[in-house]
Amino acid sequence: MKNRLKVARAEMDLTQEDLAKLIGVSRQTINAVESGRYVPSTVLALKMARVFGKQVEDLFGLEEGE
């Protein structure tokens, strides 16, 4: 799964820690999602999308062959 989380954070000038606090997870969770080591739950993806004012599909997508 690919994601645009790091780009979205940069556009809003948020650190991983800032985003983590806004959605109630650890900074390490944000780091793991951004690096592709962790696929967020539906609830977590929705919370992230809400913070950025975007649709989940704007932040996350499947790569070819997935």
Tens-digit pLDDT string for the chain (66 aa): 999 999 999 999 999 999 999 999 999 999 999 999 999 999 999 999 999 999 999 999 998 888
State residue 65's pLDDT score: 85
What's the pTM? 0.91
Q: Decide: helix, strand or coil at residue 3.
A: strand
State residue 11's pLDDT score: 96
Q: Which of 66, 60, 35 is nearest to 47 (CA)?
A: 60
For the chain, what are the domain ranges?
A: 2-54
Task: Confirm if 26 and 20 have CB atoms less than 8 A apart.
Answer: yes
Residue 23 corresponds to which amino acid? I
**Domain 2-54: which CATH number of 3.30.470.20, 3.40.50.2300, 3.40.50.970, 1.10.260.40:** 1.10.260.40
Task: Confirm if 63 and 4 have CB atoms less than 8 A apart.
Answer: no
